[in-house]
Chain A
Amino acid sequence: MRQLKIALVLLLIGGVLTTAAFVMAFTTAEMQRFGTVTVPEPIDTAFPLQQVTEAGYTYERPWFSQKIFYFHVPVAEASFLVFAVAAFFSIRFLMKRRKEFDTKARLAMETAIVFVMLTMITGILWTRAAWGVWWEWEPRLTTYFIMTLMMIGYFVLRNSIEDEERRATYGAVFGIIAFINAPISFFITRLIPSSHPVVFQSGFATSNLIPFILGQIGMLMVGYAIYAIRASEERLEERVDVLKDALEG
Chain B
Amino acid sequence: MAEKTTPAVSLRPSGASLSWRQFKAIVRKDIVMELRTKEMVTSMGIYALLTMVIYQVALSQAGTAFDPRDIAAGLLWLAFVFTSMLGLNRSLVHEKDQGCLEALLLSPVDRPVIFFAKAAGNLVFLLIVQTLTIPVFAFLFLQGREYGGDLWMIPLALLGGAIGIAGVGTLLATMSVNTKGKDFVLAVLFVPLMYPLLLAAVSATSAAVLGGDGYVQQFWSSMALVAAYDVIMLGAAFALYEFVIGA
A191 at the interface (CB under 8 A from B): yes
Question: Are B193 and A173 closer than 8 Å at their CB atoms?
Answer: no
B4 at the interface (CB under 8 A from A): no
- Chain B positions 206 through 242: 1 when the CB is less than 8 Å from some CB of chain A, otherwise 0: 0000000000001001100100110011001100100
A161 at the interface (CB under 8 A from B): yes
On chain B, the residues within 8 Å of A157 by CB distance are: 175-176, 179, 185, 188-189
Q: Which of B175, B180, B199 contacts A170 (CB 8 A)?
A: B175
Tell me the A143-189 residues at the B interface (CB within 8 Å).
146, 149-150, 152-153, 156-157, 160-162, 165-166, 169-170, 172-174, 176-178, 180-181, 184-185, 187-189
- Chain B positions 71 through 99: 1 when the CB is less than 8 Å from some CB of chain A, otherwise 0: 00000000000000000000000000000
Question: Are A160 and B181 closer than 8 Å at their CB atoms?
Answer: yes
Interface size band for A: 20 to 34
B104 at the interface (CB under 8 A from A): no
Closest-by-CB residue of A relative to B228 is: A184
Interchain CA distance A165-B246 in the complex, whole Å: 11
Closest-by-CB residue of B relative to A151 is: B192
Closest-by-CB residue of A relative to B242 is: A94
On chain A, the residues within 8 Å of B171 by CB distance are: 173, 177
B139 at the interface (CB under 8 A from A): no
Knowing A153-B189, A185-B196, say if A169 contacts B179 (CB, 8 Å).
Answer: no
On chain B, the residues within 8 Å of A152 by CB distance are: 188
On chain A, the residues within 8 Å of B189 by CB distance are: 153, 156-157, 174
Question: Are B225 and A150 closer than 8 Å at their CB atoms?
Answer: no
B243 at the interface (CB under 8 A from A): yes
Q: Which of A176, A185, A189 contacts B236 (CB 8 A)?
A: A176
Closest-by-CB residue of A relative to B198 is: A188
Question: Are B199 and A189 closer than 8 Å at their CB atoms?
Answer: yes
Question: Are A191 and B247 closer than 8 Å at their CB atoms?
Answer: no
In the assembled complex, the CB of A11 is this many whole angstroms from the nearest CB of chain B, namely 31
